């Protein structure tokens, strides 16, 4: 058995796209003039760039991966405009994390290792085993993927009848592996906390049902394990176009196709032909609506990403918009969550409106707020802070990120229970950009 596992792992790794010679460039805009230069870079080279991290404010970093054949062209562009840059990863291939072999035997939950990265089949099996092990946890199908996979998640419910829901989802961008791993660890700690009579967890689950979807982009996530570690989008064939995939976090229905998204199919932020055009977004939207509409919307909606350590609330579809009608409460709840998170391992998150510097139209935090009517709707960017590892967070850090993020969401939900238990969203009509 062990020989077969290692052989399968070796074969999978051998099929992966090579990133030999790819570099990650860093440019930190400190003023509006720097931002304009960065905008020119992105507009000029578009599909030749892979933006790992977009700056969220002045002084934050733009981290951009560039293939060997485009590096001289990009460096020349930067030099001509006196843009100071550094190379933070000299060879992406040598930085890639090789997942540890898994010895998980589906049907035996005790064999599941919470501190390594798992493929989609193992996560789906874990959902089944985990729910069977806890009487107050159910496995639920929350949607479907473009390739026909069921998007399976967990429902934590301790009441006789359904309670108002909280939605946590991860894995919308395939390469952000720490996101599904963190969803799994939040689920484990939530179950263990309830069974140990942790008063905060008991209080939360006495008021709300919590739904956790570990991997929204199941096809893309699996593809990032088998074919291309840096894959971001889903696996839509785009009607036979050369480039596959839609950025699911540009496919939602609040100003779909606006700033920060593109109609170029080869770009990493291709928004798709229409809002909610993708099965992953449309079917989970159906599930979220059906589960929450009778309550006037969910209590909270958080979409977990990486990387950068940010906790962000609407609006995100355009820069310079007025604060949302619920901004004060959104910031207060995020602050409570970030403070609880920081108390565990001293990790600091930046709290801000999503489009403080760059917009992302059609993204989840606006969708959760405006469409689902979740007053407390966020995009949370998990660790790391720095692109020296980027999406390649070592497996040794999974446990710590899971611990602190769990503490953060408990602190966040406790704030709502104690201060705004019957929260009502007031998004109004999103202001025009």
Active-site residue list: 381
Tokens linked to 215:
């991997």
- Alpha-helix residue ranges (DSSP H) falling in 134-168: none
Distance of alpha carbon 289 from alpha carbon 293, whole angstroms:
5
Residues 151/143, Cβ–Cβ less than 8 Å: yes
Backbone angles phi, psi at 339, to 5 degrees: -70, -40
Distance of alpha carbon 325 from alpha carbon 133, whole angstroms:
42
Tell me the C-alpha to C-alpha distance, in Å, between residue 178 and each of 17, 116, 168, 184, 431.
20, 10, 14, 10, 34
Tokens linked to 404:
């602190």
Q: What would the DSSP string read from start to end of 186-208?
A: HHHHHHHHHHTT-HHHHHHHHH-
Helix, coil or strand: residue 26:
strand
Q: Tell me 234's DSSP state.
A: -
């Amino acid at each position: 058995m062990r020989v077969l596992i290692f052989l399968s792992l070796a074969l999978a790794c051998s099929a992966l796209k090579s990133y030999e010679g790819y570099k990650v460039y860093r440019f930190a805009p400190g003023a509006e003039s720097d931002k304009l230069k960065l905008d020119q870079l992105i507009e000029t080279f578009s599909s030749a760039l892979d933006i790992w991290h977009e700056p969220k404010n002045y002084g934050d970093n733009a981290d951009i991966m560039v293939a060997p054949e485009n590096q001289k062209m990009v460096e020349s562009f930067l030099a001509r405009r006196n843009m100071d840059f550094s190379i933070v990863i000299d060879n992406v291939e040598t930085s890639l994390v090789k997942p540890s072999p898994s010895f998980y035997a589906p049907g035996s939950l005790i064999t599941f290792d919470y501190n390594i990265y798992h493929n989609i089949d193992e996560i789906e099996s874990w959902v089944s085993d985990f729910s069977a092990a806890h009487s107050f946890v159910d496995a639920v199908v929350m949607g479907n993927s473009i390739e026909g996979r069921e998007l399976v998640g967990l429902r934590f419910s301790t009441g006789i009848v359904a309670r108002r829901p909280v939605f946590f989802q991860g894995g919308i961008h395939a390469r952000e592996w720490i996101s599904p791993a963190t969803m799994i660890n939040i689920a484990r700690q939530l179950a263990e906390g309830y069974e140990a009579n942790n008063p905060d967890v008991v209080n939360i689950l006495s008021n709300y049902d919590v739904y956790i979807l570990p991997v929204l982009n199941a096809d893309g996530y699996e593809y990032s394990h088998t074919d291309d570690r840096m894959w971001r989008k889903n696996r839509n064939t785009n009607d036979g176009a050369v480039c596959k995939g839609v950025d699911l976090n540009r496919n939602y229905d609040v100003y779909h196709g606006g700033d920060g998204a593109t109609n170029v199919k080869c770009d990493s932020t291709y928004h798709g032909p229409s809002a909610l055009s993708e099965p992953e977004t449309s079917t989970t939207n159906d599930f979220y609506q059906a589960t929450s509409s009778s309550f006037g919307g969910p209590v909270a909606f958080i979409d977990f990403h990486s990387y950068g350590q940010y906790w962000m609330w609407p609006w995100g579809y355009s820069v310079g918009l007025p604060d949302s009608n619920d901004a004060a409460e959104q910031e207060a709840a995020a602050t409570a969550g970030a403070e609880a998170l920081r108390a565990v391992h001293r990790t600091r998150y930046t709290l801000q409106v999503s489009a403080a510097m760059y917009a992302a139209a059609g993204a989840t935090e606006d969708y959760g707020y405006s469409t689902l009517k979740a007053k407390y709707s966020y995009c949370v960017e998990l660790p790391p802070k720095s692109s020296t590892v980027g999406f390649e967070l070592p497996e040794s850090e999974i446990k710590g990120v899971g611990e602190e993020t769990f503490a953060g969401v408990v602190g966040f939900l406790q704030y709502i229970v104690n201060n705004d238990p019957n929260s009502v969203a007031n998004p109004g009509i999103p202001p025009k950009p």
